[in-house]
Amino acid sequence: MKKIAVFTLILLLIAGVAYAAEQANTTEQVKNAEVVGNKICPVSGEKIDEKIKETYEYKGNIYNFCCPVCVEEFKEGPEKYIEKMEKEKAEESKGHKGHEKHHLK
């Protein structure tokens, strides 16, 4: 009985150390993550209110969302939403090419 208690204690200790190491690694990843700075929610398409926005880190980038529900939906298919954001950004850039000269007057 004493051996089982010691064995259980050792397992719990190992699990605790592994969990702490994983949390430290996750915290470090978030610290090194790059803020995307999107002003439009990639899921709903709504403008993001800076006062109540939600954020989520994915593959080294921190994305902004309008609400927690959108974060959860993003988690189900992040690549789909990232691709959507990239297309919108490319379209936006395309529409302004050559337009800069109008602002120089």
The DSSP element (H or E) to which 34 belongs, if any, is: strand 34-35
Residue recorded with tokens 């989520």: 56
- pLDDT one digit per residue (tens) for the chain, 105 residues: 777 877 677 776 776 656 655 554 444 445 678 999 999 999 999 999 999 999 999 999 999 999 999 999 999 999 999 999 999 888 887 765 555 555 555
Predicted pLDDT of residue 25: 45
C-alpha–C-alpha distance, residues 76 and 93, integer Å: 28
Residues 6+ apart with CB under 8 A from 12: none
- pTM of the entire predicted model: 0.60
